[in-house]
Each structure stands twice: as structure tokens, then as C-alpha cells.
Copies of this chain bind each other. A is one copy, B any other.
Amino acid sequence: MSDTKNLRVLLAKRPQGAPTAEHFRFEETQLPEPSEGQVLLKILYLSLDPYMRGRMSDAKSYAKPVELGDVMEGGTVAEVVESRSEAFKPGDIVLSHSGWQSFAVADAKGLRKLDPATVPVTTALGIMGMPGFTAYSGLLTIGQPKPGETVAVAAASGAVGSAVGQIARIKGARAVGIAGGPEKCAFMRDELGFDAVVDHKAADFAERLAAACPDGIDVYFENVGGHVWDAVMPLLNEFARVPVCGLIAQYNTPEAKEADRLPALMRSVLTRSLSIRGFIQREFMDQRRQFYTDMSEWIASDRVRYREDIVDGLRNAPEAFKGLLEGRNFGKLIIKVA
């Protein structure tokens, strides 16, 4: 391996609006050496997720930003190539948080071994990983859908939204999916089994959404914000629950309107006893085991399906990430690194 280099993607500059090529820098370095208790990993797959836009900014948030000149962070599936830990041997496939690079050293105790024989290892970055668990914990713990209720979710062909809709249906609720474009809408309806789908790019989106929710909305799983929220808010029923796990539409630009929408929001909260609750999945870590059990069963019995959008090559990560924020991906976005 002595000639092999580590390709790393560094944060070069903090974006104000949309991140572009100039905000990243590629660098090739020597392979790192594992110390006692560590392993050397060859990264096979890198997960790209909307939260990474937050890490590029130094605005106060729930996690520290990536420093300028540091490797962009991210979840990864990797192969152990050298081990100085008894827990792993070369050839093992693990889930790690090694970021945007082709090799990494990691402490053995932070890794989870994956079994390629059960489900494809890429699912550890999607439906069986952080996005799937975000959907599961936020929907069930905060959203608490009841049989017959209406659950609406945006970015509904994506990693989190597709799981939200399918879990809602498993719990007996009616799932209304919102996404951009006819192809994604058809997939949600025909493959994922959503009860209704609405294209947010339609000129009459708000009217279509209202028509798709004749009994209003009891749970809105908020992961996009922006103009979808404006269409959803009038439809929220009394005692509606709004788990908030993301606001992808306002990550690049705050999408402020000319009018101040805060008074109307608070009035709706008051007059309809709404509940709006932000969350990060790690808050619910004690549900993680149950999640693995439930989701494995649901996938095995074809009650939950998933779609992955795999892009080849780490050098394409910046452009793929930009597309993710613009909704150009179709399914869970993953970079094939090795």
C-alpha cells in the first residue's frame, strides 16, 4: 500500500449561499498509520446528507462546524485493511464516520461491524442508518400518527421522507408525499405506496395539496421548510404535530418573505393547539435497537422499500452535494469512493 495516497476533500471556504467547487479543496496525502486499538480503513461509500450544509457554516447549531482546511465530515461504509485491534480483522466491513476521504484511521470502539450477507452494506448509510432512524424516531416519538390520520412529508422520495411515508402507512395512517417532478411522484405512488402524491413544482401546488388532504393534516414531518411549509400550515388540524428535522429549502438562502410570517404562525399554534418540535435523531438513541429490529423486518417483508442514488467517485462529491440541496438526487445519495 506504500504507493497508495489518501484523497481528501477539505472545506476551503464557507459558502454564503449554495456551495460550489470553490468551497472545497482536494488534497492527496500519505496514508495514515493506525495506533494501538485503531484500524486503517479503506472507504467504500460516503453518505451525502443535507445536514452537511450546516457543518460548512459557522453559525451556532447543534454540532460544531467543520474547520476551514479540515476534511468534510460524513458517515461512511469502509473495509478494514489493517487492524491493531482484536475486534476487527482485515476484510471486515464497518460503519464509520470518516468523512470525505478515501482512507482513514479510526478507533475500533467507534465502529459498527456490518454483515454484507443480510442487507446491502450501503443501507447502513440510508434506510438502516441515520436517515432511516431520523424518520423512525421523529415520526413515532414526536409525530405519533394514529390509524386514519393524515401524515404529510416533503422530499418524500428521499432518504428520510420515503421512510416517513412508509412507516406512517405501517402504523395505519394515510401518507401524503410531496416531491419535485413527475418521476419522483410516480415512484412514491407506484413503488412506495403513498396514498397521495403532490408535485411541489406545480403552479397550483397549494390547491393540489389541499385536495390531497381532504381531512387536513395531523402530522407534518418537516424536513424542507420554504414554500412547502406555507402550503402545509393552513391544512394543519387541531392538535397537529410537526417534528422538524431539517429545513433544506432555507439552508442556502433564508427564504425570507416580504411579509413577516411569525405572527400568523404563532396564532395558528395557539388557535389549533399545534405542536412544533425540533429534534436530532441522537436524542432517541435508546430506540436504536428497536429500530434495527423493526426496519429489518419491514424491509424483509417488503413493507418498506428504498432507493439509492449512487454517484461514482469522490471527486464528484461536491457537485453531487450541490445537487442534493437543489433536489436533483433521486433516492438516498451515496458516493462510491473505492
How far apart are the CA atoms of A268 and B256 in the complex, in Å?
15
Interface hit among A91-99, A277-285, A315-323: A277-285
Contacting residues, chain B, for A244 (C-beta < 8 A): 266, 269-270
Q: What mask results when residues 145 to 170 of chain A are scored 1 for a CB within 8 Å of chain B, else 0?
A: 00000000000000000000000000
Closest Cβ neighbor of A63 among chain B residues: B271
Contacting residues, chain B, for A123 (C-beta < 8 A): none
Contacting residues, chain B, for A52 (C-beta < 8 A): none
Contact indicator A250/B278 (Cβ below 8 Å): no
Decide yes or no: A266 and B250 within 8 Å by CB, A261-B260, A272-B278, A273-B278 being known contacts.
yes
Q: Which of B62, B222, B264, B273 contacts A271 (CB 8 A)?
A: B62
How far apart are the CA atoms of A263 and B247 in the complex, in Å?
9
Contact indicator A260/B258 (Cβ below 8 Å): yes
Contacting residues, chain B, for A271 (C-beta < 8 A): 54, 60-62, 278
Whether a CB of chain B sits under 8 angstroms from the CB of A259 is: yes
Q: Give the shortest distance, in Å, between A85 (CB) and chain B (any CB).
A: 34
Contact indicator B261/A269 (Cβ below 8 Å): no
How many copies make up the complex?
2
Decide yes or no: A279 and B273 within 8 Å by CB, A259-B260, A260-B259 being known contacts.
yes
How far apart are the CA atoms of A28 and B268 in the complex, in Å?
38
Contact indicator B277/A276 (Cβ below 8 Å): yes
Q: Give the shortest distance, in Å, between A268 (CB) and chain B (any CB).
A: 8
Contacting residues, chain B, for A246 (C-beta < 8 A): 270
Whether a CB of chain B sits under 8 angstroms from the CB of A257 is: yes
Contact indicator A265/B262 (Cβ below 8 Å): yes
Q: Give the shortest distance, in Å, between A118 (CB) and chain B (any CB).
A: 32
Whether a CB of chain B sits under 8 angstroms from the CB of A275 is: yes
How far apart are the CA atoms of A225 and B268 in the complex, in Å?
13
Q: Give the shortest distance, in Å, between A143 (CB) and chain B (any CB).
A: 13
Decide yes or no: A274 and B263 within 8 Å by CB, A244-B269, A269-B244 being known contacts.
no
Closest Cβ neighbor of A250 among chain B residues: B263
Per the 8 Å Cβ criterion, residues 208-229 of A in contact with B are: 222, 225, 229
Q: Which of B60, B62, B264, B277 contacts A275 (CB 8 A)?
A: B277
Contacting residues, chain B, for A269 (C-beta < 8 A): 244, 276-278
Q: Give the shortest distance, in Å, between A35 (CB) and chain B (any CB).
A: 34
Interface residues, chain A, with chain B CB atoms under 8 Å away: 54, 60-62, 222, 225, 229, 238, 244-247, 250, 254-280, 283
